[in-house]
Structure 1
Amino acid sequence: MKYTISIAFSPLDQLIEIAKAAEELGFDSIALPDSIFYFEKQSVDYPYTADGKRMFDENSPWVDPLIAAAALGAVTSTLRFYTNVMKLGSRNPLLMARQVGSVANLTNNRFGFGVGIGWAPEEFEWCGQPYAKRGKRVDEMIEVIKLVLAGGMVEYHGEFYDFDRLQVSPAPTEPVPFYVGGHTDVALRRAAHVGDGWTSAMMTGAQLAETIAKLKSLLAENGRADAPFEFQAVCIDKFGVDGHRELAEAGVTDNIVIPWVFDGLGFDAPVEAKKDSMKRFADTYIHSGWQQ
């Protein structure tokens, strides 16, 4: 099982040091969350908390995940990065393809594209994109971005996007993996159909085991039972070596963690304290040999 550090809500001036330490300590990846802006009045419930309220406010720090991946990639050599997840619905697919391809090239193919639809009408509408038919539109967006990233002169004629022959250069020298987020049945079907992996929001171990089983069944239905596929998990109730062993047995291939939160520190804790937490975590889970 791989280990990925989420940098959610960390001050931006800490990210370089966190990435350097993560690589030195043997973590596999950095997960980069996405939020465009904080809107004061919330028109629909936030889908990942019990009360529907957001777990962040107008002062919570966010960094554009693609810019962060390029910046952190410049100070590391083996660490990977992926968006967790990029909200596609409020964006333009050709511009996204240009940006994703640039990050993949600048990081020497150490970038994975975690994608989702987005939950808030405000983000869609205030960025000039319709909220209606967002799922079908994002399906086309994924097709467009994959097509463009494959390189060469391409064209696309769909329900929502239509363009004649064009080319974005240089194309990445390796395919960019797509990790599809979401917990709904349609999101799981999307992941099994077009994804190189699936990524969760906060879930219990039991929920993860059930969801992974569903995904494996859907992959088989798509003729992909033996294809490489990542199960990236944020688990809220499996701790200690035994808990991590249970996650691995359930099929989790990539455990997304925030070590300093596990140690009772806040998101804005000093970076040296965070690095100490990362070392303790790495000694316990990465270097202890429990997976051997």
Structure 2
Amino acid sequence: MRIGIVSPVVTQVPGGHAEWERSAGIEELARIARTADTLGFHHLTCSEHVAVPADVAVQRGGTYWDPLAALGHLSAVTERIRLATQVLVLGYHHPLEIAKRYGTLDRISGGRLVLGLGVGSLEEEFALLDAPFEGRGARADDALGALRASLSRREPAYHGAFYDFEGFVVEPHAVQDRVPLWIGGRTPRSLRRAVTYGQGWVPFGLPVDRLAEMLGGRELPEDFDVVLSAGRVDPSGAPEAAVRAVRRVREAGATVVSVGIDARSAAHYCEQLEALWALTGETG
């Protein structure tokens, strides 16, 4: 079992973040990342939205740090922890753009990139970026095929329904032989997509019982990760509940657990990470 953290500060959804995060910056985030890295947590995350409509931000939030900039900085202050986009929206990017930009991150971090990828659902943002919304699932599947053929290769080649390229040099490129692709979603189709194109599935917004039902009896590929959220935990104030939350998603089929941390400040967040590590006894 590996445990990663849903990074504070970088994403601020109403009701899902603490007040101290509003004024926190890269120094606080770097302190938390260093603590998680030293303890042995598996990964930290950063999500992606370019521009959220003001009325939508009331529910989804409007603060989303750019993952490449944020994770690039955090890679420089950590040594082991993996850097996970959770998630990039495939339709916003050409596959070779992702291969180049995030391949560079993989290079400078010493091979610690995890690419979390999703189809996307915010139609207004697609329109703003002049990205096709209709048929985005089929386009995302083709993008995943193109990415799998391109990451870790100096001269990638791919010939698909939406993406077709050959004869170009992408340098630098990822140093991992096979960058992990974690596919986000909440439907059986997203799980099938993850099994077909990726090395992991990152569902969201589903109750644990439903997750267990979707995973139950399904034969998954070897070394395929199921990344489930244990929600927000308070390992110092409610240690037994924190352990139960982690155990519950593990029993539902998780191979990697993501947690949010209740904290009053960056310093308290680091103390909470130490308490969680002591409770779970996990190694990253």
For the criterion TM > 0.5, the same-fold answer is yes
- Counterpart Cα distance in 2 of 1:237 and 1:6: 9
The equivalent position to 2:49 in structure 1, one of 27, 32, 35, is 35
Structure 2 matches for 1:106-255, cutoff 5 A? 106-174=108-176, 175-213=178-216, 216-217=218-219, 219=220, 224=221, 227-236=222-231, 239-255=241-257
**Paired residue for 1:25?**
39
- Counterpart Cα distance in 1 of 2:145 and 2:270: 39
- Counterpart Cα distance in 2 of 1:185 and 1:128: 28
Q: How far is the alpha carbon of 1:187 from its aligned partner?
A: 1.0
3-state SS, counterpart of residue 258 of structure 1: strand
Deviation per residue, 1:176-228 (Å, 9 max, x gap): 110011011221110111110111224332122123226x34x3xxxx3xx21
Q: How far is the alpha carbon of 1:164 from its aligned partner?
A: 3.4
- Counterpart Cα distance in 2 of 1:66 and 1:164: 26
Deviation per residue, 1:128-166 (Å, 9 max, x gap): 211111011111111222222131423333222233321
Gaps of 5+ in 1: 47-52
Deviation per residue, 1:100-133 (Å, 9 max, x gap): 1111111111111010011111111111211111
Q: How far is the alpha carbon of 1:236 from its aligned partner?
A: 4.2
| Cα separation, partners in 2 of 1:72 and 1:17, compared to 1, 3 Å | same
The answer to whether the 8 A contact 2:39-2:274 is kept is yes
3-state SS, counterpart of residue 104 of structure 1: helix
Give 2:3's aligned amino acid.
Y
Give 1:31's aligned amino acid.
T
The answer to whether the 8 A contact 1:23-1:76 is kept is yes
Give 1:75's aligned amino acid.
V
- Counterpart Cα distance in 2 of 1:237 and 1:192: 27
The answer to whether the 8 A contact 2:91-2:136 is kept is yes
Q: How far is the alpha carbon of 1:63 from its aligned partner?
A: 1.3
| Matching of residue 12 in structure 1 with residue 19 in structure 2 | no
Calculate the TM-score normalised by the size of structure 2: 0.84
Q: Matched residue pairs, number?
A: 261
Give 2:226's aligned amino acid.
F
The answer to whether the 8 A contact 2:117-2:182 is kept is yes
| Cα separation, partners in 2 of 1:273 and 1:163, compared to 1, 3 Å | same
3-state SS, counterpart of residue 226 of structure 2: strand
3-state SS, counterpart of residue 147 of structure 1: helix
| Cα separation, partners in 2 of 1:55 and 1:71, compared to 1, 3 Å | same
Calculate the TM-score normalised by the size of structure 1: 0.81
3-state SS, counterpart of residue 278 of structure 1: helix
- Counterpart Cα distance in 1 of 2:211 and 2:188: 14
Q: How far is the alpha carbon of 1:258 from its aligned partner?
A: 1.4
3-state SS, counterpart of residue 189 of structure 2: helix
- Counterpart Cα distance in 2 of 1:278 and 1:237: 12
| Cα separation, partners in 2 of 1:280 and 1:165, compared to 1, 3 Å | same
Identity of aligned residues (%): 28
3-state SS, counterpart of residue 201 of structure 2: strand
The answer to whether the 8 A contact 1:114-1:180 is kept is yes
**Paired residue for 1:2?**
2
3-state SS, counterpart of residue 128 of structure 1: coil
Q: Which moved more, 1:103-112 or 1:167-176?
A: 167-176
Give 2:4's aligned amino acid.
T
The answer to whether the 8 A contact 1:179-1:191 is kept is yes
**Paired residue for 2:274?**
279
Q: RMSD value over aligned CA atoms?
A: 2.3
Give 1:154's aligned amino acid.
P
Structure 2 matches for 1:42-81, cutoff 5 A? 42=56, 54-56=59-61, 58=62, 61-81=63-83
Gaps of 5+ in 2: 13-20, 234-240
| Cα separation, partners in 2 of 1:184 and 1:228, compared to 1, 3 Å | same
Give 2:5's aligned amino acid.
I
- Counterpart Cα distance in 2 of 1:63 and 1:275: 21
